[in-house]
């Protein structure tokens, strides 16, 4: 078996993501002999977000308005083919930490603004995939080792709002989690059935069944209560019990609603539908979440307050942290420095992990490790601008995170991850473990 697996070739190109925007695809060839004859090639595609925290690593865009409305990534592609290739050619692909360190060193900035996090991540993921292929190992096992067997509970987005949809729903994502399932396959089926019944109900109510960026339906609705009531109806129409079989998760994406000048959260869609201006302070918003949690089987809220409000997050954690999962996305941005601060302040109790927020696979793994050691949960997540690359499906199993966000079951870029997880579960067979991650969290009655 290989101990040293040299990187022989690094090549990037510009391709398209699920929104039709350019993104970076990288191919890395490893192994002895002549490239293209004896080598093994791994390929990776980089996702992109719309609702992005300002502390995220920087993706490099060309800014040339004459091509792709300024969103081209040819500069990032060029950086892969020159600077990053020069940094890692000949290095050992089996040493992911060392490779990622070289990528960070080549960039030399805190936020990856020199070479671009999108350039770096494409190389980092492609190296891992090439090494796994050369060793003839599944990617999840190469990254996670021999104990990687825990399948994630889907956190399936079935109704979109916020910046992910052109509708009046202010909160960004409403998701369902099949906590009563006994396997990933069963949980996925349950979620898909609820999704399909939600479509039937929306049609009956003469509401739009158009979908947002992540495939969830995007009707105009007056407030979160209306959304949640529809979801409960769909769960029951599908033959499942709210709370026992299916619970609800919300991504509020509160940073997108925050008015810094007035220190309030604006709800433009709700204001439009109700004919009055709806504003909430941070404490009022936390109180509002408590009302929703009391009324509906909500077990997870992501980004309930904006990314700079550490005091507000502490208050929210004190009020809700014993009852539900509080996930930091814009707050933590897959960054161990910010996560460490949150752990010390006892803020939140879970981290959302997006590999493109931080720029390398090793840094994402460090974030999951830190979270688990501190008793925080981890959720492996896609982005609103996705690709057909199912890398995060393998990552979810490799890390044993137990939860994955990867959208609605209606687009190939989202279903690619679900289908890969079905393959992994099939490969693991009886060794596959599936249990919902809220054993120590009180599910509201």
As annotated, the active-site residues are 214, 354
In sequence order, which residues have a C-beta less than 8 Å from that of residue 195 and are 6 or more positions away?
156, 158, 234, 408, 409, 410
Q: Which helix (H) or strand (E) holds 340?
A: helix 336-345
The pLDDT of residue 443 = 45
Strands 298-302 and 40-45: unpaired
Q: Tens-of-pLDDT digits for all 445 residues of the chain?
A: 568 999 999 999 999 999 999 999 999 999 976 554 578 999 999 999 765 667 889 999 999 999 999 999 999 999 999 999 999 999 999 999 999 999 999 999 999 999 999 999 999 999 999 999 999 999 999 999 999 999 999 999 999 998 877 899 999 999 999 999 999 999 999 999 999 999 999 999 999 999 988 999 999 999 999 999 999 999 999 999 999 999 999 999 999 999 999 999 999 999 999 999 999 999 999 999 999 999 999 999 999 999 999 999 999 999 999 999 999 999 999 999 999 999 999 999 999 999 999 999 999 999 999 999 999 999 999 998 999 999 999 999 999 999 999 999 999 999 999 999 999 999 999 999 998 665 444 444 4
Number of neighbours of residue 1 by Cβ within 10 angstroms: 7
The pLDDT of residue 3 = 83
Angstrom distance (rounded) from CA 143 to CA 131: 10
The pLDDT of residue 437 = 64
Angstrom distance (rounded) from CA 246 to CA 366: 31
């Amino acid at each position: 078996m290989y101990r040293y697996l040299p990187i022989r070739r690094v090549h990037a190109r510009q391709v398209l993501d699920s929104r039709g925007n350019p993104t970076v695809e990288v191919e890395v060839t490893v192994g002895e002999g002549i490239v293209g004859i004896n080598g093994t090639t791994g390929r990776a595609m980089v996702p992109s977000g719309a609702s992005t925290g300002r502390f995220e690593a920087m993706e490099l865009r060309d800014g040339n308005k004459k091509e792709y409305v300024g969103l081209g990534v040819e500069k990032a592609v060029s950086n892969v083919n020159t600077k990053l290739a020069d940094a890692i050619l000949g290095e050992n692909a089996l040493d992911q930490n060392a490779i990622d360190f070289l990528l960070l060193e080549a960039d030399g900035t805190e936020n990856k603004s020199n070479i671009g996090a999108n350039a770096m991540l494409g190389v980092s993921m492609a190296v891992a995939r090439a090494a796994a292929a050369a060793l003839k190992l599944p990617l999840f096992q190469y990254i996670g080792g021999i104990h990687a067997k825990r399948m994630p509970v889907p956190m399936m987005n079935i109704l979109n709002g916020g910046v992910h949809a052109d509708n009046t729903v202010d909160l960004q994502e409403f998701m369902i989690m099949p906590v009563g399932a006994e396997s990933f396959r069963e949980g996925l089926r349950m979620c898909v059935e609820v999704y399909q019944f939600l479509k039937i109900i929306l049609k009956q109510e003469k509401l739009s069944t158009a979908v947002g960026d992540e495939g969830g339906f995007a009707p105009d609705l007056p407030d979160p209560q209306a959304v949640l009531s529809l979801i409960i109806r769909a769960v029951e129409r599908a033959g499942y019990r709210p709370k026992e079989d299916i619970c609800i998760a919300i991504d509020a994406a509160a940073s997108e609603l925050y008015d810094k000048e007035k220190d309030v959260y604006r709800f433009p869609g709700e204001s439009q539908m109700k004919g009055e201006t709806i504003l909430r302070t941070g404490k009022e918003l936390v109180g509002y979440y408590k009302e929703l949690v009391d009324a509906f089987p909500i077990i997870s809220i992501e980004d309930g307050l904006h990314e700079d409000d550490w005091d507000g997050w502490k208050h929210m954690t004190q009020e809700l942290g014993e009852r539900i999962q509080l996930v930091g996305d814009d707050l933590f941005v897959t960054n161990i420095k910010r996560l460490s601060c949150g752990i010390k302040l006892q803020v939140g109790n879970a981290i959302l992990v997006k590999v493109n927020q931080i720029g390398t696979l090793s840094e994402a793994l460090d974030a999951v490790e830190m979270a688990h050691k501190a008793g925080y949960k981890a959720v492996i997540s896609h982005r609103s601008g996705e690709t057909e690359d199912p890398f995060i499906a393998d990552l979810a199993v490799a890390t044993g995170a137990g939860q994955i966000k990867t959208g609605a079951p209606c687009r190939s870029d989202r279903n690619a991850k679900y289908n890969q997880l079905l393959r992994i579960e099939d490969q693991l067979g009886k060794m596959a473990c599936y249990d919902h991650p809220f054993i120590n969290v009180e599910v509201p009655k």
